[in-house]
């Protein structure tokens, strides 16, 4: 069985003044059986990691470079993120695919770099509204997973996959529970075909896109949903903790 994971994505939000939210999350001490990660802007990783050192919460990053070091102005290597205190890294988020033109080959290289450094990669996949309306959702998700995992004999170490329909991110819209279930079942089958039943069962499959305290419990009731990647509702402890509690109860 995959571990339950609630991962927050602060995106380009927050300054050191907001780290109190992370300390409050740690103080709320949610169920240690649920893994909690908060993926922060790089500027906050080091200080946040010190705050959660004695708590069952990990700090993550939102991207890494595919190279280990070198002439890449403004970029950050996986090893540097680890050194700053990050343990997780989001890769292939749709906002990076759009804003920075990231393709599956680059995301695959970043997955390898993250794994080599010992970071847990949270690979994001998801269809646009046009792709869903055209009936191409599973084809798109399949191509993104194949593209990112191509050539790997086993799952990159500690792999996590987040299904994030682009049209549900930050919009307040969510797919139906049947639609979420269809994609998650498909992803599990795809992992089984690639790596076998046991390895596939250990990969946490997260749903992401407008998860809130009010809809978390029903989403976590969907088979093959092992947790959530949460954007807006991870910024405040008072929103994130009820989501974690719902995951713990699922
Ligand atoms: C995200 O960007 O990963 C996300 C899921 O955002 P939100 O929860 O705000 O839709």
Residue 128: give the domain boundaries. Answer: 4-249
Q: What is the position in ligand 1's atom list of the atom closest to the CA of 211? A: 8
**pLDDT tens, position by position, 185-229:** 999 999 999 999 999 999 999 999 999 999 999 999 999 999 999
Distance CA 154, CA 145 (A): 13
CA 157 to chain centre: 15
From the candidates 95, 102, 131, 164, give the one annotated as an active-site residue.
164
Report pLDDT for 29.
73
CATH label of the domain that carries residue 90: 3.20.20.70
* pLDDT at 117 (0 to 100): 95
Residue closest via CA to ligand 1's atom 1 equals 231
Buried residues in 207-246 as b, exposed as e (16+ CB within 10 A): bbbbbebebbeebbebebbbbbbbbbbbbebebbbbbbbb
Per-residue pLDDT tens for 44-93? Answer: 999 999 999 888 899 999 999 999 999 999 999 999 999 999 999 999 99
243 Cα to the center of ligand 1, angstroms: 13
Q: Is position 10 annotated in a ligand binding site? A: yes
What per-residue confidence (pLDDT) applies to 172? 86
- Total domain count for the chain? 1
Query: Is position 214 annotated in a ligand binding site?
Result: no
Residue located nearest, by CA, to atom 2 of ligand 1 = 231
CA–CA distance, 149 with 132 (Å, rounded to integer): 23
Q: Is the pLDDT of residue 98 over 80?
A: yes
Q: Is 93 one of the catalytic residues?
A: yes
Q: Which residues line ligand 1 (CB under 6 A)?
A: 9, 164, 169-170, 208-211, 229-233
Summarised one tens digit per residue, pLDDT across range 164-195 is 999 999 888 899 999 999 999 999 999 999 99
Alpha helices (runs of H) in the chain, residue ranges in sequence order: 20-28, 42-51, 78-84, 94-99, 104-117, 129-133, 137-149, 177-195, 197-201, 216-220, 237-249
Per-residue model confidence (pLDDT) at position 203: 95
């Amino acid at each position: 069985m995959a571990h339950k994971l609630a991962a927050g994505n602060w995106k380009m939000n927050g300054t050191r003044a907001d780290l109190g939210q992370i300390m409050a999350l740690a103080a709320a001490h949610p169920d240690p059986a649920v893994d909690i990660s908060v993926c922060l802007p790089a500027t906050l990783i080091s200080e946040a990691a010190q705050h959660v050192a004695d708590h069952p919460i990990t700090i993550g990053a939102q991207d890494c470079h595919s190279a280990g070091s070198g002439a890449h102005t403004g970029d950050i290597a996986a090893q540097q993120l680890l050194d700053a205190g990050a343990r997780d890294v989001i890769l292939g988020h749709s906002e990076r695919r759009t804003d920075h033109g990231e393709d599956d080959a680059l995301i695959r290289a970043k997955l390898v770099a993250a794994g080599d450094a010992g970071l847990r990669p949270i690979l994001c996949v998801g269809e646009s509204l046009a792709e869903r309306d055209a009936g191409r959702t599973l084809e798109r998700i399949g191509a993104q997973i194949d593209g990112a995992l191509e050539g790997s004999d086993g799952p990159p170490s500690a792999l996590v996959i987040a299904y994030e329909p682009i049209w549900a991110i930050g919009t307040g819209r969510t797919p139906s529970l049947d639609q979420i279930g269809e994609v998650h079942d498909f992803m599990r089958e795809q992992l089984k075909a690639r790596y076998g039943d046991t390895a596939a069962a250990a990969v946490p499959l997260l749903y992401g896109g407008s998860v809130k305290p009010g809809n978390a419990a029903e989403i976590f009731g969907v088979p093959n949903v092992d947790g959530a990647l949460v954007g807006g509702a991870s910024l405040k402890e008072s929103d994130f903790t009820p989501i974690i509690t719902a995951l713990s109860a699922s």
